[in-house]
Structure 1
Amino acid sequence: MSLVSRSTARRRTTVAAALGGALALALTACGSPASHDSSMPGRHTPSAASTAQGTHHDDSAMPGMTMNTGDGLVTKKDGYTLAAKAATLPAGKATSYRFAITGPDAKPVTDFAVEQTKRLHFYAIRSDLTGFQHGHPTMADDGTWTAGLGALRPGSWRLFAQFTPRTGAGKGQDFVLSRTVTVPGSAATTVLPKASTTATVDGYTVTVHGELMAGMAHPLTVTVNKDGKPVTDLQPYLGTYAHLTAFHEGDQAFAHLHPENKVAGRRGGSSLSFHAELAKSGNWRLFLQFRTAGTLHTAALTLRVS
C-alpha cells in the first residue's frame, strides 16, 4: 500500500547489490500452516494471538517512525526478491500462497527484524482496491513463507510483503515488495466509493481529519466514535492502537502509516495521530484496523490527495 511513513531517523542507506539468481531454488514444496488475521472491509474477525515464530513481540510501538520503502510496486529491490511460483490462485475459497525472500546471494533470507510485533507483514488487494487482507505468514526453517488467504474474487490481485532483514547486506533496511496473481473467473470491477472523510464499521464511526498534498508530510488525525461518543477502549494491535494502510487508485501503490500515539496501557482513546506522506496525487483507499473487546475491525474509506 516514498509512501510508507515513519521518522527520518529510520531511513537507512540502500545497498546496491547484484540481483539473485534462480528463484525456484528459494521455494520448497513444504511449509508451515498459515497463521493470519486477514480482514475484509465492513467485516470483523477475532483478533489473532501472537504468532509463535520464535521471535519476541515488541509491543512498544515506534510512534512517528517512518520507512523509506518506495511504493511497493516492484518484485526486486537492492538484491532482495519476492520469489514465488504461483501465478494463479483459486477463486471463492480459502487458499495459501507460498513464497520466499531471497537476498543478493540468491539464497532465502531467514533472519528478519521484528517490526510491529511481526517478522513479516503480508497484504492482498484486488486491482479495484477491494478485498483487502492483512496477515502474518509463518516461515519454515528453509525460509519458505506460507500466507493464508481468505476467499478471493476473480480478477487481478497484488500481494505485498513488508519486512526488514536483521542481517546481511540489507540489514536494517525496510522493504516492501510485491507480485501479481490472477484469480480465474468473471472479473467484474467494483467502482471505487467517492472520497469521504468518514466510514462506519460494526457500529463504529471513523473520521479522518487533515488535508494531504502529494509528496509532502502532513499530520493526519483519525477519531473513532460509537453511538456519538468517543471510544475509550481501543486495545493494542500490532504494538499500536490502530494500523493504517493505503493503496493508490490505478496502480495499487502501497503506503503504511503508523500512529504517533504511544501505547500507554490496555486501553486507548479515540484520537489517533499519524505522520502521513503519500507521494502521488489522486484517490487513495485507506484501511484502518483497530481492536475492541478482542475483535478486530477494519474500516475503509477513499481519501483524495491533491
Structure 2
Amino acid sequence: MNTPTKFAGFTLGLVALFGVALGVGALAGTGDSEPETHHAAAGEPAADATPGGLTSSAGGYTLVLDDPVTTAARGATLRFRIEDSTGRPVTQYTPNHEKDLHLILVRRDTAGYQHLHPVLGPDGTWSTPVDLTRAGDHRVFADFVTAEGQPFTLGAELRVAGQYTPRPLPAPNTTVTVDGYTVALNGTVAPGRATDVTFTVTRDGEPVTDLQPYLGAYGHLVALRTADLGYLHVHPAGHPGDGSTPAGPGVTFAVTAPGTGDYRLFFEFRHGGAVHRAEFTVPVAETAGDPAGHTPDDAQTAAPEPTGDGHGH
C-alpha cells in the first residue's frame, strides 16, 4: 500500500517476510491522493522493523468486531468498525491502492487465507461475506489509511466454534503450482535489511508476460510471521502504465525481515481475468557476519529501533 515496499511493518514480522503487516485483494490503479510508495533497495536498512496487526488499538484507533465469537459457516458475514479515541466509528478514509480498507482473515495456523474488501455502511460499520468453514482461532487484520493520510494495520481475534484440526506448517518451498500456473520464488530474505525477492510466473512452461493490474500493481504480497502472525502488506516498485514496469513474468518486492523465524508469504497476481494466489513457507535465518545478520559493510547502517504502527506498505 503506501510506505516502503518492504516487509518491515508487519505484525507478523516478516517486514517483508517477517512483517506480516505481509501479504496479502484486487486493486487496480493508484490515484494521485494515494501516499507515495517507496521501494527499498536491496541491502537498505529497514525504516521500521515493527510488524503490524499485533494489537487491536494504535494511535487512537481501535478495530472492533461485532461478533468476536461465532460458529463455522460458509456464507457468514463479518461486521466490524474502526473506532476513534472517543469511541465513534470512523467514516472517512484515504483510498489506498483503490480501496478504503483491506481486510485479511487467516486462521492461527495460517490456513484459510482470505483477502477481502468490505463495504462501509453510513453508520461506520464495515461488512463482507467470509468463508468460515474452518473452525478455530482466526486473526483479522484491518489495513487502512486515515483521512489525514496516516496508515494503520490493526488486528483482532475471531473465534470460530466447531471441530478444529490444526494444520502443520507447510514445508519450505520455492515453487508453487496454482490454477495451472507455476510460480517460482527467487531470492533470500535476511533479517534486518531489505533484500529483493522475485516471483516469476509461467504457464505451460512459457513465461507470462501479460499480467493484469491488481491493486494498482502487477503483484501483491502479504507476509505473516508464523510465531505471532506479525503482518506486512507489500506492493512492488513501479506500476502498470509507467512505461518502465514489465507485465511479468517476474514481480519483485523489497522484503525486510525484522528477525529470524518462519514466515508465510501470500503472493497474488491477476491473469486471464482472475486473481490467483501462490503460498510459500520461507525460513529466515541469520546470515554470515554479526549476530543481527549484517555483513561488516552494514555495521554503520543497522536498522533503527521500531517506532511505527506496523503498517508495511
Taking structure 1 as the reference length, the TM-score comes to: 0.77
* CA distance in 2: counterparts of 1:72 and 1:65, whole angstroms: 21
1:99 matched to which residue of 2? 80
1:122 and 2:103 matched: yes
Matches within 5 A, 1:158-177: 158-166=139-147, 171-177=148-154
* CA distance in 2: counterparts of 1:90 and 1:258, whole angstroms: 34
Runs of 4+ in 1 over 6 A off after TM superposition: 47-50
1:133 matched to which residue of 2? 114
Q: CA deviation at 1:222?
A: 1.3
Q: CA deviation at 1:49?
A: 8.8
1:296 matched to which residue of 2? 275
Deviations 1:170-199 (A, max 9, x none): x22110001111111121111111111111
Deviations 1:28-48 (A, max 9, x none): xxxxxxxxxxxxx9xxxxx96
2:57 matched to which residue of 1? 76
1:206 matched to which residue of 2? 183
Q: CA deviation at 1:85?
A: 3.0
- Pick 1 or 2: higher relative contact order, CA cutoff 8 A, min separation 6: 2
Name the % identity: 36
1:6 and 2:13 matched: no
Number of aligned residue pairs: 258
Q: CA deviation at 1:65?
A: 4.8
Q: CA deviation at 1:106?
A: 2.2
Two-structure CA RMSD over aligned residues (Å): 2.8
* CA distance in 2: counterparts of 1:245 and 1:49, whole angstroms: 14
Q: Is contact 1:242-1:289 (8 Å) kept?
A: yes
Secondary structure, aligned partner of 2:275: strand
Q: Is contact 1:248-1:285 (8 Å) kept?
A: yes
What 5-or-longer segments of structure 1 have no aligned partner? 12-40, 42-46, 51-55
* CA distance in 2: counterparts of 1:88 and 1:274, whole angstroms: 36
What 5-or-longer segments of structure 2 have no aligned partner? 9-23, 41-46, 286-313
Taking structure 2 as the reference length, the TM-score comes to: 0.75
Deviations 1:77-103 (A, max 9, x none): 011100223121221322111111111
* CA distance in 2: counterparts of 1:213 and 1:269, whole angstroms: 25
Aligned letter for 1:290? Answer: F
